[in-house]
Chain A
Amino acid sequence: MRNVKSYLAATALMGILATGAVADDIAVVGGTAFTMKGGEKIENATVLIHDGKITAVGAGIAVPDGYSIIDAKGKWVTPGLMVAGTRMGLVEVSSWAGVDDSNASKYKTPLALDVAWGINPDNTIIPITRVEGVTRVTVGFGNTKGLFGGLGAVIHLGDDTDLVVRSKAFTTVAVGDAGAREVGSRSAVWQTLYAKFDGAKAHMEKAAEKAKKKEGDKKPKADKPNPERDALVSILKGEMTLIMGADKASDLRHIMTFKAKYPAMKIAVGGAQEGWRVADALAAAKIPVIIGGMSALPGSFETLGATMHNAARLSKAGVKVAFVGDQTHNARLAPQHAGNAVAHGMSWDAAMAALTTVPASIFGMSDSYGTLVSGMDADVVVWDGDPLELMASPSAVIIQGQSQSLESRQTKLRDRYMEIPRSPAYKK
């Protein structure tokens, strides 16, 4: 009880600090802006940032007094990147290093669990990722009991105490080999899912009927709390995105059948290594995919058709593609995945969209993030070259209107060992 109280007090305080923080007035001047608005490219662009938002983007806009100026001459300016599929803030060191809050395997109903409770804004992976131009990530559990992955959040990576941009944004469900291992065969996976969602749907309809009947009554009697059912209902209504993990073409076809039964659901596929085999159908069903850009191995019997051309083929068929990085510690490598997809035929615009506007739309935040457009949250990165290139890196990172330091635990180690010291712990 005491713990809960102190947690609540702490979160209240964090809220005050977060809202009390003053965002800078910043003008990013002279760069080439890739606004991610329909392939728009603005030379000699000015991006004005005020109170955490982008207030103007265009060529030759006058900079108002009092703005701090970031010179982006000869540089590339893009929205901050967004990477899906991390456990950031929940885990510091993956193996054998104390508590890992991304492991929730002891709790029997993961759909009742919100990752937001475990996110630590002091986690060192956050600045290590931020300095690479990634300004937002999705956070989910790494390990849960059963098919569902718990309630995931989208966080920003600013130097701040409250990182959650959207809680309960999504959940994951394993329907491929991972799901079959969990409950024993794919038949059991789909039986479990249909039973759960049909049950929740029946409850939802009954509740709606009840509410209609009791119209005029004072107060309908509240149900016993059931967070798992609430989550299922939220998925059914399309409020919470359902990321279905599958690679094999036959699993992807089942997902399309599933979606046809529950049309209001907002479904995306995670994995989709054989997505290219059903690309037209995925496009027609308007199911986006979250994939890696460097998979070409028959790593298992569900990824036999894996090819580096997957992203390009999906994208050309009209499927919206988003990229993951290498799990959590190297989520920062998502641009390398995107670059490799371009090397194998994806358009640069689609690859950049896969790191900005597409994840924004999958996770329900297109109205606030993903483009350099007036009114959007000011996540802006200035790069010394093409952001998808191996040798490019950010020279400035702005998150929610705050200019970020480009320092991390790794850059501190680097600086300490630039010249090898006799006694690294001392400054002399």
Chain B
Amino acid sequence: MMVDMKKVRESSRVVGPVLIAALAVGLSASTQAGAAPLKDKKQSPLVTVDKNPYPSSYTALPSVPTLITNVTILDGNGGRIDGGSVLMSGGKIKAIGKSVRAPKGARVIDGTGKWVTPGVIDVHSHLGVYPSPGTGSHSDGNEATQPTTAEVWAEHSIWPQDAGFRRAAAGGVTAMQILPGSANLIGGRGVTVKNVPGRVYQDMKFPGAPYGLKMACGENPKRVYGRGRKISPQTRMGNVAGYRQAWANAQDYQRQWDKYARDHKAGEDVMPPKRDLELETLAGVLAGEIKVHMHCYRADDMGTMLDVMKEFNYQIASFQHAVEAYKIADKLAENGVCAAMWADWWGFKMEAYDGIRENVPFVAKPKGSCAIVHSDSAVGIQRLNQEAAKALSDGNKAGLSFTKADAWTWLSRNPAKSLGILDQTGTLEKGKNADVVLWSGDPFSVYTLAEVTFVDGAIIFDRSDPAYQGVSDFELGHPGEGDAK
């Protein structure tokens, strides 16, 4: 539905220019008919922009075929199998069902009393860009120098030695989106990573995942610039003017490149437009290649952005934090926009004042909705299952009737959908990546812990084996090195 709407809007937008371009080509062809042959004209080769200059160098960690038997399975798609089995092999889910036979040489784990789920995917993390320890020298999450910095990429700030990655693995997190902070109207590109150790961030980069673009509504940009620097934006209306001008600039930039491509195709010797890194990212959003994840708390701020989205023909993948999303759950579902939320954070600023504990389940209620539980926290990311448990309980006590299987969609399927990686992960389905967590019991209990976390079928955390508990370079030689965390 999200894709269809976008197509409709795009086609209505391009009809005019396409017709004009066709006429122009026809015109130049006819004038050229009696003139000098085309081949005498020298034409420089077409300049194209490499859209993936920092490619993933991820390779899966070693794994052995693994069968978990007699276990309670939540498949992340709303389904549940009691006393079921999951087989992982070659990095993929090979089979899932009531009874699965172990292939020769497979490791078999007796899952009696235990639960299996898809790996948790956090759509909002600042691990690596605001790493532990929190020092000024490694504080690389906000390029708070001007309100629009679409040209910066969070991946260029990631410090892979942040111990937070390994702690998140102990909480069952298999993938996350790392975003710039929210000081700016447009803060820069986010990147999706697999939660595996790497010497450079490219080793962690999720192959095939589209880029995200972090934007921010509300208080933060106007506080940082209007109050802090006395420059625009100083108000919410200043915020919106800022987004609109940025999109208008991006449209103009896109037209320049379109014209260049057109003219080149027509045989003209044309100079490409100068690359503008800021507008290149924004044009990537307009082209549907980069997904917008927008920090937005108040319902009316989100309502405004739904119209900005339509005005400039792009799609917002998700609102982040969305503390008042419950007030417009219907509009979010209608517009195909996900909301990524905490279970119960509230009150730390005015736009977080109307937080309620039922936000997540209320957003999940309408047909076609996409509720996500997120962390935005190096601490919260270690137990997102607990956030889902609180939200589930509060929603059901308010009269809703979600199951635990439903609630797991908030932790894996919906996040994967908003990040554009649902074809690869997010649910336990045959053929998908074996991103799996084995829990010591019901993951909606505070007493349950992740026992083993798998990414692409390989162990990235094992509570019973210190070799798989992960010690970052930073932690070596310090108190607590190698301790159970």
Contacts and interface: CB of A to CB of B under 8 A. Distances in A.
Interface in B318-355: 326-330, 344-350, 353-355
Interface in B97-156: 132-135
Given A309-B484, A343-B449, A391-B444, A304 B479 contact: yes
Given A249-B479, A390-B393, A410-B357, A294 B382 contact: yes
A52 B133 CA distance: 48
Interface in B435-465: 444-449
A294 B383 contact: yes
Given A96-B223, A330-B344, A420-B330, A390 B358 contact: no
B345 A298 contact: no
Contacts of B445: 389-391
A21 interface: no
Contacts of B346: 329-330, 410
Contacts of A274: 479-480
A93 B357 contact: no
A296 B167 contact: yes
Nearest to B132: A297
B54 interface: no
A333 B362 contact: no
B419 interface: no
B309 interface: no
A117 interface: no
A340 interface: yes
Interface string A299-336: 11101111111000000000000000000011011001
Interface of A is mostly: loop
A305 B479 CA distance: 5
Q: Which of A297, A329, A343, A389 has the most CB of B within 10 A?
A: A297
Contacts of A92: 347
Contact of B446 (A97, A295, A340, A418): A340
Interface stretch (B242-250, B384-392, B420-428): B384-392
Contacts of A428: none
B216 interface: no
Contact of B348 (A94, A296, A306, A388): A94
A95 B348 contact: yes
How many B residues touch the partner, as a band?
A: 35 or more
A339 B348 CA distance: 24
Contacts of A393: 393-394, 397
A353 B347 CA distance: 29
B483 interface: yes
B399 A418 contact: yes
Contacts of A296: 167, 382, 485
A338 to B, nearest CB: 9
A410 B345 CA distance: 12
B473 to A, nearest CB: 12
A213 interface: no
Interface in B213-235: 219, 223, 227
B383 A94 contact: no
B393 A333 contact: no
Interface in B375-410: 378-379, 382-383, 386, 389-390, 392-394, 397-399
A300 B134 CA distance: 6
A349 to B, nearest CB: 14
Contacts of B358: 414
B449 A417 contact: no
A301 B132 CA distance: 9
Nearest to B379: A294
Contacts of A309: 483-485
A297 B478 CA distance: 12
Contacts of A307: 480, 483-485
B329 A96 contact: no
A277 interface: yes
B133 A299 contact: yes
B282 interface: no
Nearest to A416: B327
Which 9 A-B residue pairings sit nearest by Cβ, starting from the closest? A339-B446, A305-B480, A391-B393, A329-B347, A305-B479, A390-B389, A95-B349, A304-B478, A297-B132
Given A305-B480, A329-B346, A391-B444, 10 more contacts: A93-B353, A277-B479, A298-B480, A307-B483, A339-B446, A390-B445, A391-B390, A393-B394, A417-B326, A417-B362
30 contacts: A92-B347, A93-B348, A93-B350, A95-B349, A96-B227, A96-B349, A295-B379, A297-B132, A297-B167, A298-B480, A299-B133, A299-B134, A301-B133, A304-B133, A304-B478, A304-B480, A305-B479, A307-B480, A308-B484, A309-B483, A309-B485, A329-B346, A330-B344, A343-B446, A343-B448, A390-B389, A390-B444, A414-B362, A420-B330, A424-B327
Interface of B: 132-135, 163-164, 167, 219, 223, 227, 326-330, 344-350, 353-358, 362, 378-379, 382-383, 386, 389-390, 392-394, 397-399, 444-449, 474-475, 478-480, 483-485
Interface of A: 92-97, 125, 249, 274, 277, 294-301, 303-309, 329-330, 332-333, 336, 339-340, 342-344, 388-393, 410-411, 413-414, 417-418, 420, 424
